[in-house]
Structure 1
């Protein structure tokens, strides 16, 4: 979980730097809401994964796939609600959301792979 917090802190710094160097037009005004959504979902799903890994390692794959499907469904609901509220610059919002979704997913897979590799060596 601490690695996810570090990732989120790095993204906060990147957001501030993007605005400082004049690239703020590439970020939607709701970027903090999007980042908050991903930080909260990463925290929730990492706890679920830890529970699945600790309780029964045989069910780890089912726990992981469940979290992937839940994250996808929550993301679709989040985007739908935000677009329904009449958001301006909808394409930029969806683009920023998609980039962060891929970023967090790749980071999660990388982190999971390193944890599983370390645990298989024992």
Structure 2
């Protein structure tokens, strides 16, 4: 994923498809996704019956922190709002899909035992 982001400005140098603070967004979402994954993973292993609740709780925590980030960033930055929204939510979707895939794989392995 990082490789694609690095290659986009080299392939399309004249277009502005990434906000200047893209790496801040990437780092924030990477960190918050890791924390949400750890919370859900610990919840799944503590009580396997409540695994779905742990996953849902981690997604809600991630969503609340992301909404706060968007609010703070949009107040502070004076950049294009639409470009920021497209960049942020495309990364949010990618990180969330990756997190759900990993967590559901863990649940699948527990069902086989």
Which structure 1 residue ranges, 4+ long, deviate > 6 Å from structure 2? Answer: none
Specify every segment of 5 or more residues in structure 2 that has no aligned partner in the other structure, as ranges. none
| 1:12 alignment counterpart | 2
Q: CA RMSD in A?
A: 1.5
Match of 1:71 in 2: 62
Please give the alpha-carbon distance, in whole angstroms, between the structure 1 residues aligned to 2:35 and 2:55. 12
Structure of higher RCO (CA pairs closer than 8 Å, 6+ residues apart): 2
Give the structure 2 partner of residue 61 of structure 1. 52
Aligned length: 112
In the superposition, the TM-score normalised over structure 2's length comes to 0.89
Q: TM-score, normalised by structure 1?
A: 0.83
1:80 CA drift (Å) = 0.3
C-alpha separation in 1, matches of 2:98 and 2:78: 28
